[in-house]
C-alpha cells in the first residue's frame, strides 16, 4: 500500500513516515524543506521537493494511486503568521485545498489533516472538547480552522470523508524551537548547554503535552479504520511549566531559572479531552511525560555530540575568500599601475598613453563589466591630468583645452559603451540561465517521475510473471504499451485485447473536441464498426458515466458486450469496446481481465498524451497545425501497419505547397477533415493529408470540395 505524507521531512512527519515504513507501506514524501530535514528519514522512500500549493503536485497524484494521504505540511509559527498572514494562508489554506482536491480527484482512500488546538483560542472550558466553540486568536489558528471547514465541505459537496486531528502540544526527538511544543526542546537545549531557563510569568501556566510517537501511532491506526470527522489528539492532562522543569532537573541535574513578565495574550491553562478518539479508535497514549522527556533528552545529547564533531568541518566551509571578492579591483589596479609606471618612467609618450588607456578601458570593461570600466575611466583621466601637470600645465587651463577634453570624452564614451554593452550581455545571460534552470528543474522533475514509473512497471512485471498465472501475459501487454506515441498505443491496444481476451471485434473511439461524440480511431476490422458514437445515445452515456467497466448484461440493442471509458481524472479521453466474445469466455475472470488491461491502456495513454502536450511545439511547424515530416511519417507508418494487420482503411493525399496561400490552404483543409486526421509536410516541399478510417469515395469527395476552393490534392496511397 502507498502513503503520501506532506511535510514528511518535518518533526511530526518524519515520525509518521517511520511508523508507516515499519508497517510495510511504500512511503512517498512531499516537502519543500522550508523547515524539514532530509536527514530525518533513513529508509528507502520516494521524495518530492515541492511546495503543497505547487501545480506539480498533480503529476505525483496522477502517477501513483495513493491509499492514504496525510497532510502535515504547514506553517506552524504563530508569530510568523502574525507578521506574514498572507504566506501563512497560502501554505495552510491554499496548500490544503490543493492536496485535498487532488486526493478526491484521484480517489485516495483515506485523507488525514493535521489541525491544532489553536483553533479553540482562549477558551477556559477545560478540558476542551470537539464540540466547544472555536475562536482562534492568531492567523495560524484561523488558517487551521479554515482547513477544517474545507474538509467538512468536501464531505458535504463530494461525499469525501476525511479525518481531522487537533493536536495538543506535540514534543519529542527532531523537534525545532517553534510552537508551544518547542518549549520542551528549547529548555532541554539550554540545559545541555549549561544555560539558565527563561520562564514567562510565574511558571504555573499549564499545557497538554503529547509525545510524537503517540501521535504517529494514532495516525497509523486511523488509516486502517472507518474513522471520520474531527478529533482531539492529546493526553487529556495538564502539567505546569514549573513541574516540567522539575522533571528535566531529575534527568540532568539542578539548573538556574529566571522568571520574567508574562507574555501578553498568553493562555494560562490548556488541556484537550481525548475521550472521543479513545472510544472511537480504541487508542490511548503510551508514553508518560517522564518517559517522553527521557527519549527527547537522549536525542538532544546525541545531536550535541554530533554537532561538536562536525564543527571544525563546518567552520572551514564559510564565506568565499576575500581575494575572490576583491579580485576584479586588484587586477584593475595592477594593470593601471603598469601603465602609470610606463608613463612616469618616461617609457611612452602622452599620445601612446592615450592609446594604452583606451585599450586598458576596453579590456577591463569587456572582462568585468560596467563598474570596473568606470573605475578604469576615472583612473585613466587621473593619469592624463597628472601627465599634463608634469608638463607644466595648470589645472584651470585644461578646462578649455579642446584636445584634453576630447581625450576625456573619448575615455568616457568608450568606458560607458563597453561597460553598458557587457552589463546588458551579462543580464541577458543571467535571464537565460534562470530560464534554463527553470526548464532543467521541470525536466528533472518529469524525468524522475518517468524513471520511477519505469521502476514500478518493472516491479509489476516481475510480480505478475512470478505468480505462475495466465496473467503473466500482461508482461507482453506492458511491452506493447511502453511507448509515448498515442497512435501506436491505439494500434497496439487492439492487438493486445484480441490476444489476451480472445475476442474478434475491438474498437477504440477518441473523445471529440466538441464533447459531442466519440470518433473511431482504431478497429480490429473483423466487421464494420460505426465511425461515430454520439454522446447523447443512451448506451454511450451508460458506458461513459460508469466508474468501472460496462458489461451489457441486460442485452441493450446496438451496445457492445463490454466497454470501458478511458479518462484522465474528470477529462474523458477515449472509449474501448469489445464484441463477439466466445460464450465460454463470458465470465467474471474475463471481466476482471478486461478491467486490468483497459486500466493499463489508460495509464499508458495518459502518460503519452501528457508527454505530447509538453513537446507539442517540437511536433508542428511554427504557428500551424502542420506536423513536421519526421512526426508525420511515424503516424503514417502506424496507419500502414494498422491496414496490414486489421485492414483499417486510410488515405494519403498530396499537393504542392503554395507559399503565398499556405496559411489559407491549411486552414481550409483543417475545416474539412476530422480531428482524427493529420496534415503534414514532406521533404519534397509537398503538403500531405492523412485521412483515418476513410473510404476512397469519401476521399474523392473531399478532394472535390477542396478543388472548388482552389486547393489541388491527389490520392497517392490507400484504396487506389
Q: Which residues of 436-466 are buried (b: 16+ CB within 10 A; e: fewer)?
A: eeeeeeeeebeeebeebeeeebeeebeebee
Residue 181 lies in a domain: yes
Q: What is the pLDDT of residues 576-618, one digit of tens each?
A: 888 887 776 677 777 888 888 888 888 888 888 877 777 766 7
Q: What's the DSSP call for residue 535?
A: T
**Torsion sign (Cα): 537, 540, 544, 545:** positive
| Other beta carbons within 10 Å of 519 | 21
Structural domain harbouring 332 = 325-433
Q: Are residues 598 and 623 in the same domain?
A: no
Give the per-residue pLDDT at 297: 92
pLDDT score for 497? 85
Higher pLDDT, 384 or 51: 51
Domain of residue 637, CATH code: 3.30.70.270
Residue 668: pLDDT band with limits 50, 70, 90: confident
Question: Tell me: the pLDDT tens digits for 98-132?
Answer: 999 999 999 999 999 999 998 998 877 889 999 99
Query: 313-327, 331-345, 460-474, 529-543: which range is least confident on average?
Result: 460-474
Residue 117 falls inside a structural domain: yes
- CATH number at 596 reads 3.30.450.40
Which residues does residue 92 pair with via DSSP β-bridges, in sequence order? none
pLDDT at 312: 55
Looking at the structure, tell me whether residues 657 and 585 fall in a common domain. no
Inside any domain, residue 462: no
Strands 206-207 and 239-240: antiparallel
Three-class secondary structure of residue 178 per DSSP: coil
Same domain membership, residue 582 and residue 482 = yes
Give the span between the Cα atoms of 157 and 145, in whole angstroms. 18
Domain boundary residue among 599, 614, 629? 614
680 - beta bridge partners?
Answer: 627, 688
CATH code (residue 105): 3.40.50.720
User: Do residues 219 and 366 share a domain?
Assistant: no
Q: What percent of the chain has pLDDT over 70?
A: 88
State yes or no: pLDDT of 557 exceeds 90.
no
Nearest Cα neighbor of 558 from 574, 540, 541, 576 is 540
Instruction: Please enumerate in sequence order all residues whose Cβ is within 8 A of that of 304, keeping only pairs 6 or more positions apart, or say none.
Output: 192, 193
User: What DSSP designation does 94 have?
Assistant: I
Point out the least confidently predicted range of 195-209, 453-467, 544-558, 644-658.
453-467
Give the cell for residue 26. 511504500
- Determine which of 345-349, 363-367, 619-623 has the lowest per-residue pLDDT on average: 345-349
Query: Could you tell me how far CA 393 lies from the centroid of its own chain?
Result: 70
Last residue of a domain, one of 407, 433, 459: 433
One domain for residues 419 and 511? no
Which residue is listed with cell 469519401? 698
pLDDT(469) > 50: no
Q: Which of 9, 48, 64, 140 is catalytic?
A: 140
Instruction: Kindly state whether residue 453 falls inside one of the protein's structural domains.
Output: no
Please compute the mean of the pLDDT values over residues 692-717 and round it to a whole number: 86
Q: pLDDT at position 327, please?
A: 78
382 found inside a domain: yes
Same domain, 383 and 310: no
Residue with cell 511502453: 482
For residue 491, pLDDT beyond 70: yes
pLDDT digits (tens, 9 = 90+) for 146-178: 999 999 999 999 999 999 999 999 999 998 765
Lowest mean per-residue pLDDT among 38-42, 145-149, 372-376, 706-710: 372-376
Residue 12 located in a structural domain: yes
- Is the residue at 160 inside a domain? yes
Report H helices in 316-369.
322-344, 350-368
Distance CA 651, CA 718 (A): 4
83-97 pLDDT per residue, tens: 888 888 888 899 999
The total of other beta-carbon atoms located within 10 Å of residue 301's CB is 13
Shared-domain flag, residues 86 and 218: yes
Can you give the CATH number for the domain in which 174 is found? 3.90.25.10
CB 689 within 8 A of CB 678: yes
Residues 90 and 179 placed together within one structural domain of the fold: no
656 contacts: CB under 8 Å, gap ≥ 6: 685, 686, 687, 712
Q: Could you tell me the pLDDT band of residue 628, with boundaries at 50, 70 and 90?
A: confident
Can the peptide bond before residue 189 be classed as cis, meaning omega within 30 degrees of 0? Answer: no
Distance CA(219)–CA(3), nearest Å, equals: 12
Asked if 400 is an active-site residue, the reply is no
pLDDT digits (tens, 9 = 90+) for 5-57: 999 999 999 999 999 999 889 999 999 988 888 999 998 899 999 999 988 89
pLDDT band at 287; cut points 50, 70, 90: very high
Burial class of residue 211 (count of CB atoms within 10 Å of its CB; 0-12, 13-18, 19+): buried
Report the number of distinct structural domains present in the chain.
Answer: 5
The bridge status of strand 26-30 relative to strand 110-116 is unpaired
Residues 383 and 488 occupy one common structural domain: no
Q: 164 with 175, same domain?
A: no
pLDDT digits (tens, 9 = 90+) for 389-404: 877 777 787 777 788 7
Asked whether residue 133 falls in the same domain as residue 188, the answer is no
- Whole-number mean pLDDT of the chain? 82
From 549, 581, 614, the end of a domain falls on: 614
Position 351 pLDDT exceeds 50 = no
pTM: 0.51
Asked whether residue 163 falls in the same domain as residue 173, the answer is no
Q: How far apart are CA 364 and CA 462, in angstroms?
A: 63
| Residue 451 covered by a domain | no
CA distance readout (Å), 302 to 50, 299, 305: 30, 5, 5
Taking phi over 0 as left and psi of -120 to 50 as alpha, with beta for the rest, 555 belongs to left
Helix, strand, or coil here: 580?
strand
Q: Give the pLDDT score at 171.
A: 94
Sign of the Cα torsion 340, 346, 350, 356 reads negative
Amino acid at each position: 500500500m502507498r502513503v503520501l505524507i506532506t511535510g514528511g521531512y518535518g518533526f511530526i512527519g518524519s515520525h509518521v513516515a517511520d511508523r508507516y515504513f515499519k508497517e510495510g507501506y511504500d512511503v512517498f514524501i512531499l516537502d519543500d524543506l522550508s523547515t524539514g530535514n532530509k536527514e530525518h528519514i533513513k529508509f528507502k522512500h520516494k521524495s518530492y521537493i515541492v511546495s503543497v500549493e505547487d501545480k506539480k503536485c498533480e503529476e505525483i497524484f496522477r502517477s501513483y494511486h495513493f491509499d492514504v494521504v496525510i497532510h502535515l505540511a504547514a506553517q506552524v509559527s504563530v508569530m510568523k503568521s502574525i507578521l506574514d498572514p498572507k504566506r501563512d494562508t497560502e501554505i495552510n489554506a491554499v496548500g490544503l485545498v490543493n492536496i485535498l482536491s487532488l486526493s478526491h480527484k484521484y480517489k485516495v482512500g483515506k485523507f488525514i489533516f493535521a489541525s491544532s488546538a489553536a483553533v479553540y483560542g482562549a477558551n477556559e472550558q477545560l478540558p476542551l472538547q470537539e464540540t466547544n466553540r472555536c475562536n482562534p486568536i492568531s492567523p495560524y489558528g484561523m488558517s487551521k480552522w479554515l482547513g477544517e471547514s474545507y474538509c467538512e465541505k468536501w464531505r458535504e459537496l463530494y461525499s469525501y470523508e476525511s479525518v481531522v486531528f487537533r493536536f495538543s502540544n506535540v514534543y519529542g526527538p527532531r523537534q525545532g524551537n517553534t510552537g508551544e511544543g518547542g518549549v520542551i526542546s528549547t529548555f532541554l537545549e539550554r540545559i545541555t548547554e549549561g544555560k539558565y531557563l527563561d520562564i514567562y510569568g510565574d511558571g504555573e501556566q499549564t499545557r497538554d503535552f503529547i509525545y510524537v510517537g503517540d501521535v504517529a501511532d494514532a495516525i497509523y491506526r486511523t488509516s486502517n479504520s472507518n474513522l471520520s470527522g474531527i478529533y482531539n489528539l492529546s493526553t487529556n492532562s495538564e502539567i505546569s511549566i514549573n513541574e516540567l522543569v522539575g522533571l528535566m532537573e531529575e534527568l540532568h541535574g539542578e539548573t538556574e531559572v529566571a522568571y520574567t513578565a508574562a507574555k501578553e495574550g498568553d493562555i494560562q491553562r490548556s488541556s484537550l479531552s481525548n475521550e472521543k478518539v479513545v472510544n472511537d479508535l480504541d487508542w490511548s497514549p503510551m508514553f508518560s511525560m517522564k518517559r517522553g522527556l527521557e527519549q527527547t533528552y537522549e536525542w538532544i545529547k546525541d545531536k550535541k555530540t554530533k554537532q561538536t564533531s562536525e564543527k571544525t568541518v563546518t567552520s572551514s566551509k564559510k564565506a568565499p575568500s576575500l581575494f575572490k571578492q576583491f579580485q576584479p579591483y586588484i587586477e584593475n589596479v595592477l594593470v593601471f599601475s603598469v601603465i602609470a609606471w610606463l608613463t612616469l618612467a618616461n617609457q611612452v609618450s602622452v599620445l601612446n598613453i592615450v592609446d594604452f588607456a583606451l585599450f586598458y578601458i576596453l579590456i577591463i570593461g569587456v572582462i568585468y563589466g560596467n563598474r570596473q570600466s568606470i573605475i578604469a575611466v576615472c583612473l585613466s583621466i587621473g593619469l592624463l591630468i597628472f601627465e599634463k601637470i608634469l608638463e607644466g600645465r595648470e589645472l584651470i587651463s585644461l578646462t578649455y583645452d579642446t584636445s584634453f577634453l576630447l581625450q576625456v570624452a573619448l575615455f568616457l564614451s568608450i568606458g560607458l559603451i563597453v561597460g553598458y554593452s557587457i552589463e546588458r550581455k551579462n543580464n541577458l545571460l543571467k535571464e537565460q540561465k534562470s530560464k534554463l534552470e527553470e526548464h532543467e528543474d521541470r525536466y528533472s522533475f518529469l524525468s524522475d517521475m518517468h524513471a520511477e514509473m519505469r521502476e514500478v512497471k518493472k516491479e509489476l512485471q516481475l510480480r505478475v510473471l512470478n505468480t505462475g498465472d495466465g496473467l503473466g501475459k500482461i508482461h507482453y501487454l506492458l511491452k506493447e504499451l511502453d511507448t509515448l506515441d498515442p497512435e501506436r498505443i491505439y494500434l497496439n491496444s487492439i492487438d493486445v485485447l484480441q490476444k489476451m481476451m480472445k475476442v474478434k471485434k475491438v474498437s477504440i473511439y477518441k473523445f471529440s473536441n466538441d464533447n459531442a461524440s466519440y470518433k473511431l480511431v482504431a478497429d480490429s476490422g473483423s466487421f464494420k464498426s460505426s465511425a461515430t458514437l454520439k454522446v447523447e445515445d443512451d448506451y454511450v452515456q451508460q458506458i461513459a458515466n460508469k466508474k468501472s467497466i460496462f458489461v451489457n448484461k441486460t442485452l441493450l440493442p446496438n451496445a457492445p458486450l463490454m466497454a470501458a471509458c478511458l479518462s484522465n481524472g474528470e477529462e474523458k479521453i477515449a472509449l474501448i469496446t469489445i464484441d463477439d466474445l466466445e460464450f465460454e469466455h463470458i465470465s467474471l475472470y474475463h471481466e476482471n481481465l478486461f478491467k486490468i488491461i483497459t486500466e493499463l491502456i489508460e495509464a499508458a495513454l495518459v502518460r503519452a498524451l501528457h508527454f505530447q502536450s509538453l513537446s507539442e511545439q517540437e511536433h508542428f511547424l511554427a504557428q500551424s497545425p502542420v506536423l513536421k515530416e519526421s512526426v508525420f511519417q511515424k503516424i503514417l507508418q502506424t496507419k500502414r501497419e494498422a491496414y496490414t494487420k486489421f485492414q483499417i482503411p486510410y488515405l494519403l493525399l498530396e499537393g504542392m505547397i503554395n507559399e503565398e496561400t499556405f496559411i489559407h490552404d491549411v486552414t481550409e483543409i483543417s475545416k474539412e477533415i476530422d480531428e482524427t486526421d493529420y496534415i503534414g509536410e514532406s521533404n519534397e516541399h509537398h503538403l500531405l493529408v492523412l485521412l483515418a478510417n476513410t473510404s476512397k469515395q469519401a476521399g474523392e469527395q473531399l478532394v472535390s470540395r477542396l478543388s472548388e476552393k482552389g486547393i489541388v490534392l491527389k490520392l497517392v496511397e490507400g484504396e487506389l
